[in-house]
């Protein structure tokens, strides 16, 4: 968090996460509105901001999705107040539509868009370099390399946004957002939230065809102001000492380059040129450097974004240097950079030998010592019970009716249902996409089609798909796995939780009413742990022509554990009666609960993990599982 041991004054030093540093930068800049939709690796930015919102008198919220977060932030900016929104890289795809038009009108108060990209897909369904969005919409992109810079750049991004009247993108990546560093605190510019009148300017903000066109000319002209800003930015470190070979780098890649050069200690002098504002590049400065060098290696995280832009700048030179990078195969492309991969790129370039293979061998040796672990549902997870039912239906349908059930997955903890023992899930793309894909498959096949979605994802992106399915007469079943929280990103509330990001009680939005409002006729709400009834209702839904919805509802196990702890209560736990157990292993092989294990020929329940959901008791055909004590 921002405040540690009561220290958060100007001049204090605090060890903090990159994401916390971004939040601190926004607070120092006097932010008045912050919004986000949870998504790793960006979640902690809004969590930190929400935690300090009362103290520093600004509004923070978990929005229903990134698009709404951005639109609300735009409204705040139009009142000449400062706003920040943060999201994982995929969120940018959601805001692309309103961003594309609103840049034509521009901003009033500073508006900062933080995107935390996830190279290597640590917690994402794709790799995506959002620096391209800056180029696409003609707005600047800042890229910090460590937590200190993340704070400074966030603070500066508000100022820059106000000077150029446009939103500014701050691009982080997992290794910046989630690393800790020593951060020097700056002064907090605390501005009380105030109510201000909206100043009319329809020629700027009511964007219709001819106005949009004239505002596009404004945006093009505005690029000159942006270029001037970039040329004088202190975040670009382009001091060139006459070296013939230079490494152009930015963001987290800069830290790898610095370390690689320290380790390689080359005899040939190599220049390190660091770009802080990666779009647009400071073309005048860059040209001056390119004119004097022979060889450039571009080391950057993500796609060859700077490499392409550098090549465009170099094409205007009479004698351009050789520019190498990801496009030429000299830097790892796909996945994320590592110190080893950067050492390899630089040592190849300089014809040095450095035993990175030894590091790799050590890593392989260490990996052998670590027991293999896969992601798994928690003990007492309601989703595990639902997947047990779904896999039973899948097997029964295949066996008795020779019919395949097609399962469309979505984004959330329940995407783990695709793993053994359940193996439920044929297709999974992006937020809310499962319902639409289900509609396509249902339209032209005779398969039974089940779309799966969690409660957070349903509110974020699910119900337009549901509405479309009802409106266009699809024949499918939607199973909503409702654990009443956004669990995968760390227990953020949803519109169904009845609590805001700032801890204020609010209206609980009932998904049943949305579903009925969409015109769904078959709607059943079942306790996820009542596996018999859940199976019956899903099978019943197959008899209903049209869209059927079954909500499998019970609280996330982690949240339940927290609630029990708060109340000073313990769950009623289960044990295996050795005399009755026939060692059929159904509780281990058809069902997954980390509290259940096998030791020699005994099945055991770890009572310190058991949350007392009782599903294993229902799964056991020999009545060998019973309440303990
Ligand atoms: S399902 Fe029941 S009988 Fe089979 S191994 Fe587990 S506890 Fe024993
Ligand atoms: S009751 Fe059974 S399934 Fe539920 S948490 Fe305990 S061991 Fe796991």
Helix, strand or coil, per DSSP, at residue 366: helix
Nearest atom in ligand 1 to the alpha carbon of residue 623 is: 2
Mean pLDDT of 148-158: 98
> In this model, does residue 342 exceed pLDDT 90?
yes
Preceding omega of 201 cis (within 30 degrees of 0): no
597 Cα to the center of ligand 2, angstroms:
11
pLDDT band at 241 (very low <50, low <70, confident <90, very high): confident
Hey, what are 289's tokens?
């450097």
- Nearest CA to 167 out of 253, 76, 231 is that of 76
Closest ligand to residue 571's CA: 2
Contact predicate 439/472, CB 8 Å = yes
As a whole number of Å, the CA-based R_g of the chain is: 27
The secondary structure element, H or E, covering residue 371 is none
Q: For residue 357, count CB atoms less than 10 angstroms from its CB and return exposed for 0-12, middle for 13-18, buried for 19 or more.
A: exposed
Helical ranges in 168-321 per DSSP H = 174-177, 202-205, 209-231, 251-264, 283-292, 305-314
Strand-pairing partners, residue 273, are 248
Residue to mutate, 377, 560, 595, ligand 2, most ligand atoms under 8 Å from C-beta: 595
What's the first-to-final CA gap in the chain, in angstroms? 42
Mean pLDDT of 164-170: 98
Closest residue CA from atom 4 of ligand 2 = 613
Cα–Cα distance between 16 and 121 in angstroms, integer? Answer: 23
Closest residue CA from atom 6 of ligand 1 = 587
Residue 140 Cβ < 6 Å to ligand 2:
no
The long-range contacts involving 565-569, CB below 8 angstroms and separated by at least 24 positions, are: none
CA angle 223, 229, 231 (to 5 degrees): 100
Q: Which residue has the higher pLDDT, 2 or 319?
A: 319
> In this model, does residue 215 exceed pLDDT 80?
yes
596 Cα to the center of ligand 2, angstroms:
7
The secondary structure element, H or E, covering residue 340 is helix 339-349
Mean pLDDT of 266-276: 93
Mean pLDDT of 225-249: 94
The secondary structure element, H or E, covering residue 24 is helix 18-28
pLDDT band at 193 (very low <50, low <70, confident <90, very high): low
Nearest atom in ligand 1 to the alpha carbon of residue 582 is: 3
Contact predicate 421/391, CB 8 Å = yes
> In this model, does residue 1 exceed pLDDT 60?
no
Q: For residue 111, count CB atoms less than 10 angstroms from its CB and return exposed for 0-12, middle for 13-18, buried for 19 or more.
A: buried
> In this model, does residue 2 exceed pLDDT 70?
no
Neighbouring C-beta atoms of residue 101, cutoff 10 Å:
13
Closest residue CA from atom 2 of ligand 2 = 616
CA angle 377, 380, 385 (to 5 degrees): 75
What pLDDT shows up at residue 189? 81
Which residues approach ligand 1 with their CB closer than 6 A? 576, 581-587, 603, 620, 622, 624-625
Cα–Cα distance between 149 and 250 in angstroms, integer? Answer: 12
Cα–Cα distance between 540 and 419 in angstroms, integer? Answer: 26
Question: Which segment of 263-267, 276-280, 355-359, 508-512 scores lowest on mean pLDDT?
Answer: 355-359
Cα–Cα distance between 294 and 599 in angstroms, integer? Answer: 65
| 461 CB-near residues (< 8 Å, 6+ apart) | 65, 431, 432, 433
Closest residue CA from atom 8 of ligand 1 = 581
Residue to mutate, 577, 585, 615, 623, ligand 1, most ligand atoms under 8 Å from C-beta: 585
The secondary structure element, H or E, covering residue 422 is none
Question: Which segment of 154-158, 380-384, 482-486 scores lowest on mean pLDDT?
Answer: 482-486
Strand-pairing partners, residue 362, are none
Residues 136-172 as b or e (16 or more Cβ within 10 Å = b): ebbbbbbbbbbbbbbbbbbbbbbebbbebbbbbbbbb
Hey, what are 379's tokens?
């003990």
Cα–Cα distance between 6 and 70 in angstroms, integer? Answer: 33
- What percent of the chain has a predicted confidence (pLDDT) above 90? 87
Closest ligand to residue 576's CA: 1
* 386-421 residue pLDDT tens: 999 999 999 999 888 888 999 999 999 999 999 999
* 21-45 residue pLDDT tens: 999 999 999 999 999 999 999 999 9
Task: Please give the mean pLDDT across all residues of the chain.
Answer: 94
| Residue carrying structure tokens 């540690």 | 4
> In this model, does residue 237 exceed pLDDT 60?
yes
Residue 612 Cβ < 6 Å to ligand 2:
yes
Nearest atom in ligand 1 to the alpha carbon of residue 616 is: 1
Strand-pairing partners, residue 230, are none
Q: What secondary structure does DSSP assign to 34-45, as a single string? A: EEE---TTTHHH
Nearest atom in ligand 2 to the alpha carbon of residue 619 is: 3
605 Cα to the center of ligand 1, angstroms:
11
Nearest atom in ligand 2 to the alpha carbon of residue 384 is: 3
Residue 50 Cβ < 6 Å to ligand 2:
no
Residue to mutate, 574, 606, 620, 626, ligand 1, most ligand atoms under 8 Å from C-beta: 620
| 374 CB-near residues (< 8 Å, 6+ apart) | 419
Strand-pairing partners, residue 34, are 60, 84
Residue to mutate, 610, 622, 626, 627, ligand 1, most ligand atoms under 8 Å from C-beta: 622
* 566-596 residue pLDDT tens: 999 999 999 999 999 999 999 999 999 999 9
Helical ranges in 114-208 per DSSP H = 131-137, 147-164, 174-177, 202-205
Residue to mutate, 601, 615, 625, 628, ligand 1, most ligand atoms under 8 Å from C-beta: 625
Contact predicate 24/185, CB 8 Å = yes
According to DSSP, residue 372 is labeled: P
- Nearest CA to 58 out of 27, 36, 28, 97 is that of 27
Closest residue CA from atom 3 of ligand 2 = 616
CA angle 411, 498, 114 (to 5 degrees): 50
Nearest atom in ligand 2 to the alpha carbon of residue 606 is: 7
609 Cα to the center of ligand 2, angstroms:
8
Nearest atom in ligand 2 to the alpha carbon of residue 615 is: 3
Residue 531 Cβ < 6 Å to ligand 2:
no
């Amino acid at each position: 968090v921002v405040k540690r041991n009561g220290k958060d004054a100007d001049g204090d030093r605090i060890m903090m996460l990159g994401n916390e540093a971004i939040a601190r930068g926004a607070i120092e800049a006097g932010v008045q509105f912050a919004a986000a939709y949870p998504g790793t690796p960006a979640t902690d930015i809004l969590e930190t901001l929400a935690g300090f919102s009362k103290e520093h008198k600004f509004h923070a919220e978990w929005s229903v999705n990134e698009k709404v977060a951005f639109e609300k932030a735009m409204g705040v900016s139009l009142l000449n107040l400062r706003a920040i929104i943060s999201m994982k890289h995929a969120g940018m795809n959601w805001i692309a539509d309103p961003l594309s038009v609103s840049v034509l009108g521009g901003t009033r108060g500073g508006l900062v868009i933080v995107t935390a990209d996830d190279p290597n897909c640590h917690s994402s369904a794709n790799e995506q370099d959002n620096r391209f969005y800056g180029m696409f919409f003609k707005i600047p992109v800042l890229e910090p390399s460590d937590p200190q810079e993340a704070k400074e750049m966030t603070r500066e991004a508000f100022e820059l946004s106000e000077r150029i009247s446009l939103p500014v993108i701050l691009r982080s990546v997992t290794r910046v957002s989630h690393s800790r560093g020593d951060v020097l605190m700056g002064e907090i510019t605390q501005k009380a939230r105030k109510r201000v009148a909206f100043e009319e300017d329809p020629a700027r903000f009511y964007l219709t065809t001819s106005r949009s066109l004239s505002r596009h000319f404004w945006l093009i002209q505005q690029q000159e102001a942006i270029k001037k800003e970039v040329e004088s930015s202190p975040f670009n470190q382009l001091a060139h000492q006459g070296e013939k070979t230079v490494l152009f780098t930015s963001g987290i890649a800069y830290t790898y380059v610095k370390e690689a050069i320290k380790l390689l200690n080359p005899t040939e002098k190599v220049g390190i040129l660091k770009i802080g504002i990666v779009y647009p590049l400071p073309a005048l400065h860059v040209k001056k450097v390119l004119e004097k060098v022979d060889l450039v290696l571009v080391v950057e995280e993500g796609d060859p974004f700077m490499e392409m832009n550098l090549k465009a700048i170099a094409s205007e030179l009479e004698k351009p240097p050789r520019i190498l990078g990801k496009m030429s195969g000299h830097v790892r492309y796909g996945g994320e950079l590592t110190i080893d991969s950067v050492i390899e790129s630089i040592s190849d370039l300089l014809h040095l030998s450095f035993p990175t293979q030894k590091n790799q061998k050590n890593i392989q040796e260490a990996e052998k010592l670590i027991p293999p672990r896969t992601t798994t549902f928690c003990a007492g997870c309601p989703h595990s019970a639902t997947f047990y039912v779904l896999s039973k239906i899948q097997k029964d349908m295949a066996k008795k009716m020779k019919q395949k059930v097609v399962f469309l997955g979505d984004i959330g903890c329940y995407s783990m249902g695709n793993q053994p023992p359940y193996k439920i899930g044929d297709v999974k793309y992006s937020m809310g996409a499962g319902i639409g894909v289900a509609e396509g498959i249902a339209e032209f096949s005779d398969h039974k089609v089940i779309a799966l979605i969690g409660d957070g994802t349903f509110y974020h992106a699910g119900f337009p798909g549901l509405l479309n399915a009802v409106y266009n007469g699809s024949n499918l079943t939607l199973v909503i796995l409702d654990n009443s929280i956004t669990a995968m990103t760390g227990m953020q509330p949803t519109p169904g939780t009845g609590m805001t990001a700032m801890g204020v009680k609010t209206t609980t939005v009932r998904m049943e009413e949305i579903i009925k409002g969409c015109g769904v006729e078959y709607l059943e709400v079942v306790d996820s742990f009542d596996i018999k009834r859940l199976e019956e209702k899903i099978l019943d839904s197959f008899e209903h022509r049209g869209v059927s919805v079954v909500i499998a509802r019970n609280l996330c196990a982690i949240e339940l554990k927290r609630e029990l702890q708060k109340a000073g209560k313990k769950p009623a736990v289960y044990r295996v009666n050795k005399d009755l157990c026939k060692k059929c292993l159904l509780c281990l092989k058809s069902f997954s609960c980390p509290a259940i294990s096998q030791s020699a020929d005994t099945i055991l329940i770890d009572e310190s993990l058991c949350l007392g959901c009782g599903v294993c008791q229902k799964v056991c055909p020999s009545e060998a599982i019973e309440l303990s004590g």
